[in-house]
């Protein structure tokens, strides 16, 4: 599932919802998933939250901030809308995904951070899967674009105001179909320069110009 700013405890765990005859307590997806995992202790269950840092996490998790701790798994407490004891089972794994360059990352306080282990993903331009993609398309301009993006990533990583978290990801260069000049030009002009390079170096014309020139040079001889 995906978090957003309007998401709440009542959406995630449990809360009153309107019905034809008034209001009724409805179980949220995390509550239901905990019960499913609890009933099947022999297997592992994974609950994945995309954009976890975009929600108000204290508001969403409530008292479950305690129950998701490793040493509190299986401990029961009465939650907000129910007198029935509730726990987060030991065989449930909570995975949150986020972009570390996102400014809303500041909303994740240390109380929540210490309940998670962190694993960073880097752009996979040198991975076996991406190498197979390059071989599959066998396009000289495409390979040149990849080289230029990797060079720009080095500039980004060496910039103290940006860093590794702002590196351009390989997903921008993973087409669904055929790679041709039109697709490459579209990626450069609409996916890389305006939303990323321009935003990263809006106050550094030198770096902005260097990146633009390098990207635009990919098709400059066409």
pLDDT in tens, 128-154: 999 999 999 999 999 999 999 999 999
pLDDT surpasses 60 at 104: no
Tell me how crowded residue 105 is: count the other CB atoms within 10 A of its CB.
14
pLDDT surpasses 70 at 55: yes
Q: How high does pLDDT run on average in the chain?
A: 91
* Residues near 28 by beta carbon (within 8 Å), at least 6 away in sequence: 10, 11, 12, 13, 14, 15
CA distance 81 to 83: 7
Structure tokens at 44: 């592992």
pLDDT surpasses 60 at 200: yes
**Chain-centroid distance, C-alpha 53:** 9
- At residue 92 the predicted structure's pLDDT band, cuts being 50, 70 and 90, is very high
- pTM passes above 0.85: no
Phi/psi at 104 (nearest 5 deg)? -75, 0
């Amino acid at each position: 599932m995906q978090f957003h700013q309007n998401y709440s405890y009542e959406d995630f765990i449990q809360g009153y919802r309107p019905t034809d005859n008034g209001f009724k307590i409805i179980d949220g997806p995390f509550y239901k998933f905990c019960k499913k995992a609890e009933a099947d202790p022999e297997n592992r269950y994974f609950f994945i939250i995309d954009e976890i840092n975009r929600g108000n996490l204290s508001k969403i998790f409530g008292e479950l901030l305690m129950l998701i701790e490793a040493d509190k798994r299986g401990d029961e407490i009465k939650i907000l809308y129910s007198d029935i004891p509730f726990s987060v089972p030991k065989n449930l794994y909570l995975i949150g995904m986020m972009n570390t360059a996102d400014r809303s990352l500041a909303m994740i306080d240390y109380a929540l951070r210490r309940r998670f282990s962190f694993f960073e993903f880097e752009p996979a331009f040198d991975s076996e899967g991406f190498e197979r993609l390059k071989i599959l398309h066998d396009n000289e301009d495409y390979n040149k674009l990849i080289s230029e993006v990797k060079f720009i990533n080095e500039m980004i990583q060496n910039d103290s105001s940006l860093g590794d978290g702002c590196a351009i990801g390989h997903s921008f260069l993973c087409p669904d179909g055929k790679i041709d000049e039109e697709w490459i030009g579209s990626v450069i002009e609409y996916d890389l320069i305006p939303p990323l390079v321009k935003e990263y170096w809006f106050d550094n014309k030198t770096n902005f110009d260097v990146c633009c020139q390098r990207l635009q040079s990919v098709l400059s001889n066409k």
